[in-house]
Structure 1
Amino acid sequence: MKLTTLLTSAAMALGLATAGVAADKTKVGFVYVGPVGDGGWTYEHDQGRKAVVAEFGDQVETVFVENVAEGPDSERVMTQMALEGADLIFTTSFGYMDPTINVAKKFPNVKFEHATGYKRSDNVSTYSARFYEGRAVQGTIAGHMTKSNVIGYIGSFPIPEVIRGINSAYIHAKKVNPDVEFKIVWAFTWFDPAKEADAAKVLIEQGADVILQHTDSTAPQAAAKAAGDVITFGQASDMSEYAPFPRVSSIIDDWAPYYIARTQAVIDGTWSSKDTWDGIGAGMVGIGEISDAVPADVKAEALALKEKLASGEYHSFTGPLNKQDGTPWLADGETADDGTLAGMTFYVEGLEGDIPQ
């Protein structure tokens, strides 16, 4: 009996010790709007998750749910993650903003990080990247390389993040090619390969020989490849399987350093709510390799612009610039402030069409 009691006690002690080790792990959750294999936005967020695992090993446990629709579904997923012991939850799409705030109120001891939004609280931080800096580089290349002078742009949703990108690409394409014209198709989705392919085909039928996208799949790349002489740029991820043509460069979102730093802050007990908005200089926005399909002088110009953006020598939104209706916005040499950019709901002068409401 004594031996049995000792064995039982030892087993219980071992169980408690194991539970203690498990409890010491920091549990980090990720909510994804698309599949991890989308080749774009969600793929790069999941690369960031994997970097957290590689950095911390047994100190952390990560969980993720993919293809989570914006709205009530996301609130349910976040709630379940919190109930299952998540210490930190990254919600990685703009439409998760209100659900994140709602769930955070119910779980004040859980830390939340919302990508691309603007609503914060004591346990909710926000983070985003200055994608518009990458659009300036893309616009420069696109303006030089278009032969038809028609550049197509696939928009996801008419939110400030997307509008900033359209404006930045247009401004810089126009700088190098005054005859350039933008045609914009709104897909009203982040990830839907069929809709994205259809949008690309419509733009190509309208004469576009360069396609930019703010949607997450590689479907526009495939449509451009099938069309022949149409140039594309990778979105959020390198999409290098379509290099060196039609994909001639890309914007790459590198979330890994941020995810590692914020996880470390939770482990250390130093996490606090803040807003982060970094760009090329901080490494959150990368410019994918510019392929040899781009003339050497254009490549050099694009890389020089990248360096000026990274150093802060140049700002993507530098006057003189007017709004679409011709009213003055930025005087000569004046640069846009972050507040205006964060809430941008207007096109710059020269862009045609209305922004959907």
Structure 2
Amino acid sequence: MKKKISVLLIAVMALSLVLAGCGGDKGTADGGMDKVKAGFIYIGAANDGGYSQVHDEGRMEAINALGEDKVETVVSESVPEDQTVESVMNDMIDQGCNIIFANSYNYMQYVEKVAKDNPDVKFMHFSGNILGDNYGNYFGRMYQPRYLSGIVAGMTTKNNKIGYVAAYPTPEVIRGINAFTLGVRSANPEANVYVMWTNTWYDPAVEKQAAEALLDSQGVDTICQHQDTTAAQQAAAEHGAYSVGYNKDMSQANEEGFLVSAVWHLGAFYTDQLQQVLDGTWEPTSYWGGIADGVVGLSDYGKAVSQEAKDAVAAAEKKITSGEWDVFTGPIYDQDGNLKVEEGQKLTDEEMLSMMWFVDGVIGEIPSGN
């Protein structure tokens, strides 16, 4: 009898080891795990000085917060927005990743496909809108610091002509342009924002050319951007112009003319996501945090920013973080003079996430077919 029990115990232990091996890292009794392995996929280089770098800094913050004994990461940089990303994700899965973060909008369809094929792996896609049993999305209310940075630009420009180097005509980018312009106009009703499209997220040469065209052809004295690198800032510096950055502090690219950046703080988010996986409590979600949540904000100010502008930003930020007011509160008119948001009303999240029109004060067009 003892021999039979011993054989049974050995069989049960062997089965437990097999099941634990299937999960990658050693599991805990409550469905969590002792160590999580996470994949991070970037559209640009991890040291690009902008977009991908803030994601990588967030990754490293999470490792520091949780400890290398709890977190292992796999990073893939400069991954194209095509089927290449599928191969990268599958390779990460083969390496035992429990969760994968993909940081570019046009990865979306590939993330959804691979997620459906791998239900035991968790996926989070940045800036998209996909949501399923094992995949979700995350972004921030970047329009809030965009608005605040617009106040700074509106109060600093000398000729009321501000350029905006924009990536693709998506609701995310258009929402940012509109928020920035509303901020500009709140401080300086005479100023206009001139938009130039690049149709790229990450191409330093193209970004710089677009900024130079705005500076030379339109005569703008300030450059803002929705691009991944500091190239537009460099163009502003070479022209003696002001500049507003994006993603992270870009003051080193334009030491004299840099005003402020609308920035990401992703460390806390990545830490929380990985902790949930460790605890066995992770669930797919659509995350859209704002300034009050600490995921977005402003960088330190540049030397060209006046105290008056800083005070105006502080007052507006207080209204936003208190919930008293938000950026897309009416009355708001489009660039054709049509009332889009009535006084006292504000756009819903759904309306902001599908925004495909420009506010009054924007000089430029949304390309047809979008």
2:306 corresponds in structure 1 to 295
Corresponding residue of 1:142: 153
Matching residue within 126, 129, 140 for 2:140:
129
Per the TM alignment, residue 233 of structure 1 is displaced from its structure 2 partner at its CA by 1.6
Alpha carbon RMSD of aligned pairs, Å? 1.7
Query: Residue 235 of structure 1: SS of its match in structure 2?
Result: strand
Q: Tell me which of 26, 37, 42 is aligned to 2:47.
A: 37
2:239 corresponds to: 227
- Kindly provide the CA deviation profile for residues 68-118 of structure 1, in whole angstroms up to 9, marking residues without a partner as x: 011211121112111221100001111111110000011000000011100
Correspondence for 2:202 among 191, 201, 207: 191
1:150–1:207: 8 Å Cα contact kept in structure 2? yes
CA offset digits 1:293-349 (Å, max 9, x no partner)? 111111111122122222222201110112333332211121111000011111123
Give SS of 2:309's match. helix
For residue 54 of structure 1, the aligned residue among 36, 51, 64 is 64
Matched, 1:336 2:321: no
TM-superposed CA distance for 1:257, in Å, is: 0.6
- SS of residue matched to 1:318: coil
2:161 equivalent to 1:154: no
Deviations 1:111-157, CA, capped at 9 Å, x for gaps? 00011100111101111011110111111111111111110001011
Match of residue 67 from structure 1: 78
Q: What is the one-letter code of the residue matched to 1:184?
A: V
Amino acid aligned to 1:301: A
Q: 1:23 and 2:25 equivalent?
A: yes
- Show structure 1 runs of 5+ residues with no match: 1-15
1:180 is matched with 191
For residue 211 of structure 1, the aligned residue among 199, 223, 243 is 223
In 1, Cα distance between equivalents of 2:195 and 2:340:
22
Instruction: Check the 8 A contact 1:26/1:61 in 2, yes or no.
Output: yes
What SS does the corresponding residue of 1:42 show, helix, strand or coil? helix
- What SS is found at the alignment partner of 2:229? coil
In structure 1, distance between residues paired with 2:130 and 2:25: 31
Q: TM-score, normalised on structure 1? A: 0.91
Q: 1:265 aligns with which of 264, 276, 279?
A: 276
Which whole-Å CA distance do the structure 2 matches of 1:181 and 1:93 have between them? 30
Q: Distance in 2 between matches of 1:319 and 1:312?
A: 15
Note the alpha carbon deviations across 1:23-65, whole angstroms, 9 max, x for none.
3331100000000111111000001111121122211210110
Number of corresponding residues: 339
Question: 2:191 touches 2:361 (CA, 8 Å); kept in 1?
Answer: no
1:120 partnered with 2:131: yes
CA contact (8 A) 1:243 1:291 kept: no
- 1:100 equivalenced with 2:111 (yes/no): yes
SS, match of residue 58 in structure 1: coil
Q: Which runs of 5+ in 2 are unaligned?
A: 1-16, 27-34
SS for the counterpart of 2:318 is: helix
